[in-house]
Structure 1
């Protein structure tokens, strides 16, 4: 459970490294951008896993609850 929480906090606070929204925290990415990745494929590796997690967070309406964890 501790690893899950740490992974969630890390994903929320990860900065998007490329593209139109480079420099933004993953939690603040617009939902349509994440839907596009979901439809076209997330990038490989840790970033892709984090984007997929944030997609699920937004899909389930949990963004507001997690905003206080932004650093």
Structure 2
């Protein structure tokens, strides 16, 4: 199974639709907020999948991937 590069593009273009960080790009959400979702459970939809992806990227020190894509889009 190949990763879908479109997901990363969506992550740098999509804004959080609700909550404390409403209007913040998903790629700019703080790790603490993503940790809360990880503990409570990510939504069972495409937003949840994107949030979980951002969480994994950030906790593994791969933020530069998102930063570079953000500059492009």
Q: TM-score range by the shorter chain?
A: 0.7 to 0.9
Residue segments in structure 1 that go unaligned for 5+ positions in a row:
none
Q: TM-score scaled by structure 1?
A: 0.88
Displaced runs of 4 or more, over 2 A: none
Distance 1:61 1:9 in 2: 18
Residue segments in structure 2 that go unaligned for 5+ positions in a row:
none
The residue aligned with 1:18 is 18
Cα RMSD after superposing both structures: 1.4
Between the two proteins, the alignment pairs up a number of residues equal to 70
Distance 1:35 1:45 in 2: 18
Distance 2:45 2:65 in 1: 26
CA contact (8 A) 2:12 2:69 kept: yes
The residue aligned with 1:30 is 30
CA contact (8 A) 1:12 1:54 kept: no
Distance 1:29 1:52 in 2: 12
Q: TM-score scaled by structure 2?
A: 0.86
Q: CA deviation at 1:43?
A: 1.2
